[in-house]
A and B are shown apart, each in its own frame.
Chain A
Amino acid sequence: MSPFLRLALAVVATGAAMPAYAASDGLVAPLVRWAPVILGGFLFNVLVSILAMTLGTVAGAALGLGLISETRAIRVPSRIVTEFFRNAPWLVLLFYCILLIPFEFRVGGTIIPLPGWVKAVIGLALPVMANVAEIVRGAVQSIPGAQWESAESLGFSRFQTLWMIVLPQCLKRMLPPWMNLYAILTMATPLISIVGVEDGMTLTRAAIASEGRTDLLMPMYGFLLALFFFYCYPIARWTVRLERRFALSA
């Protein structure tokens, strides 16, 4: 269990220690009792999503530049990697990383442990990487070719053109699809509960199990759904707004 979750559990351990005889205290009281635990778990999901997005964006930017490379030996492998990770199901990639990455690495004399949640972050970052690569490629190709030609005639090298002229314009175009991808990633994070990483989903199910009441299923799962909704919905609205604004100015 991550220290983060342990903290979340400890905070409410006192309040949640007596569920056995509190079986008839309505629907609201158990929900209030468990809300901090579930919220803590949900924040862990958010943390995982931020880490996976960061990792996936860095790797995906590099892969995306590989996709638009003029060298065939870089472009073709980049295309294969992108298509592979874009088309493979997220859950299968997660299983792949969880089961096949070793639980520790030995570099020289030091042992670097790789807990499950780190492997889960890597597993989620892989499809993010492939999607970011496509976003980068799409944005670069949406810049008129004439700009490349004018930059070339002004004596810019290919790298300079990309770095100083094309990419700065791309950032604006990449932002909405990138945010969209982040929302998709956040909604994929509960998958890590399937491969045994404790997250908001795991804690919600644990809370339900410890209360042992079927009438709590709906409110508890509903609460978790609501948490995700109130996190992802504003992102979606904002994405739509940005898309509209950039569409007008372009």
Chain B
Amino acid sequence: MMQWLQGPDGLTGLGLSILDDDLDRSAFLWGLWTTVWLSLVCIVLSFAIGIAGAWAQGASSRLGRGVVSAYIQVFRNTPPLVQLYFFFFAVGSLLPSVTDSYGQSVPMVTNVGWAVVSFSLYAGAFNIEIFRAGIEAVPSTTVEAAEALGYSRLGTYRHVVFPLALRISLPALGNNLVNLVKTTTLAYAIAVPELLYVSAQIWSEQLNVRTMMNLLLVVYIALVGLLVLGINRWERALRVPGLGR
């Protein structure tokens, strides 16, 4: 199959070493998988932060509300790259190192770990705001009706407010998740072998910068396109007639 694709001279003439070269291909696919994995883990974690944070913001405790809004403002108004460096270099240097199975001393949280923590906290700060706006859009009469039926605050949130708020928040949430996928490229800076990092390694070895660059853009746009498609389908599946628009 590959023989047929390559033709008599191979595709090297096109500079697409990821088709010709087994090593490059497996590196590229591994990078793609790392990007997808990083995106999915961060989406799930940032989602959880969003839900918990939005709930805490509605709590009666002033301290809780203050902490959450301070967190949101700090993470929304500082550069994600500096946040990543802060976590990886500054916070990372404070943590003790542990011994791995080979008897070597390794940092407690790896670069991938810090990328997950940093991006999740960054996207989570936006998700809280998005969910909060969705919660505010839920009619207060609905909440009162739930209270009248004997729901506790957590029960109202879980069974009535959140399911409605989620549907209202989906468009903004989709935007933020697209941004999150784009933000995963920053992990390049701390040598996480994601798509951009492995591509840079390939183009510095094969000197096929232009081809790799174009391929990279196409792959990222395809990834983002898939995510948008997924969110749109989800939005349609969850749609409540007469709500929102």
Contact = CB atoms under 8 A, between A and B. Distances in A.
A233 interface: yes
A236 B76 contact: yes
Nearest to B81: A190
A100 B209 contact: yes
Interface stretch (A51-59, A70-78, A86-94, A142-150): A86-94
Given A96-B213, A221-B90, A87 B78 contact: no
Interface stretch (A154-162, A166-174, A181-189): A181-189
Interface string B181-211: 1110110110000001000100000000110
A134 B239 CA distance: 25
B185 A91 contact: yes
Residue in B80, B90, B93, B224 whose Cβ sees the most chain A Cβ within 10 Å:
B90
B79 A189 contact: yes
Given A96-B217, A191-B81, A201-B82, A87 B90 contact: no
B148 interface: no
Interface residues of B, number: 36
A229 interface: yes
B30 interface: no
Interface string A219-237: 0111011001100110010
A101 to B, nearest CB: 12
Contacts of A225: 74, 78-79, 82-83, 86
A196 to B, nearest CB: 12
B66 interface: no
18 contacts: A88-B182, A88-B220, A89-B182, A90-B185, A92-B185, A92-B216, A100-B209, A187-B77, A187-B78, A189-B79, A217-B89, A221-B85, A221-B86, A221-B90, A222-B90, A228-B77, A236-B73, A236-B76
